[in-house]
Copies of this chain bind each other. A is one copy, B any other.
Amino acid sequence: MNTNRDDAIPLTLPLPPEVEESLCRCGGIAGLVEQLPGDATLERESGVHRALADPLRLKILAMLAVQPLCVCVIKAVLGIADSKLSYHLSVLKKVGLIVGEAQGNWIIYRLTADGETWARRILSDAAN
């Protein structure tokens, strides 16, 4: 096993002067690497974006930002098959942007705190 970072990252690359200079100032490649989020963080964060990477799912989020809704209302607005909607809801649920609570015959979905944060961002981006 080799934990010496220096052989994974050659320090003596020929670089464009502009890059080399500012790279030196920030501690070289090692200094740069230190500033990056860890792998677990990147995985988690990219997972949220993957869930947001679909127009239908963003629309669901926007709807739930107005108020909690049961599946049948969401379906009526989107006009898609039950199983398709269920799939997309499960994607949003899995990353913790929404939760569903059974209420008699229905399941009412609402945004989580995370979901609200993202919905706000999305809607304010959309306004531009």
Contact = CB atoms under 8 A, between A and B. Distances in A.
A16 to B, nearest CB: 5
Interface string A99-128: 000011010100000000000011101100
Given A53-B53, A54-B46, A106-B16, A73 B23 contact: yes
Given A18-B108, A19-B68, A77 B46 contact: no
Contacts of A46: 52-55, 57-58
A35 interface: yes
B41 A49 contact: no
A8 interface: yes
7 contacts: A13-B73, A15-B73, A15-B106, A18-B68, A18-B108, A35-B62, A46-B57
